[in-house]
Amino acid sequence: MDNLISQIKHLQNSEIRKVIDARVKEFNELGMKNSNEIFKELCFCLMTANFSAEGGIRIQKDVNEGLLVLPEDLLASKLKALGHRFPNMRAKFIVASRKVKDNIKEKLQEFNNDEDRRQWLVDNVKGLGYKEASHFLRNIGYSNVAIIDFHIIDLLVKHNLVEQPKNKSLNGKKYAEIENTLKEISNKAGINLGELDLYLWYMETGKVLK
């Protein structure tokens, strides 16, 4: 773990810190916006499951207000035209999730911690697993849950901090186990889990996305 912490601290003293700090500022600002804007970010996180973040960003920008109002069939056609791998299923999830659209900002504010916020999302938004729910929360300024995707797992395995999971899809118990390792890293690095994800993602991909 010490080697990984050392690499993170090196990045914290480099130009990449400015990029990451700017991205965190954007997340916090998005969390201050209205429920419609926050819901669009939820749609982005629904779309990135088994798809690329770059593709999700592009589609989110293109469809924009349509995420709020398009009927399922038209939304699916739009997603297909824009190259999404699973246009029908993602359109289904987005339309179903509109039941939380109008009060999602206020609902999330009711909880005392990010883990309870995440569990509510997993229980109430079809298509959101722990990873996607954590991603959504981080992107609207709730930074105390970990986004565990294969990039992060590969990095942790490389540093002998976790074993390679047998299943690509993590159950709640396995997710919590890996998250505890990430909490230890974030505490030692002096950053929250949301920031840690950006540093680790940069280490693995050379990119700072959202």
Q: Enumerate the active-site residues.
A: 131, 149
Helix (H) or strand (E) holding 102: none
**Runs of H (alpha helix) within 49-165:** 53-63, 66-69, 72-81, 87-97, 104-109, 114-124, 130-139, 150-158
94/53 Cα distance (integer angstroms): 17
DSSP label at residue 143: -
Helix (H) or strand (E) holding 35: helix 35-48
CA 141 to centroid of chain Cα atoms: 11
Phi, psi for residue 61 in degrees, rounded to 5: -65, -40
DSSP label at residue 171: P
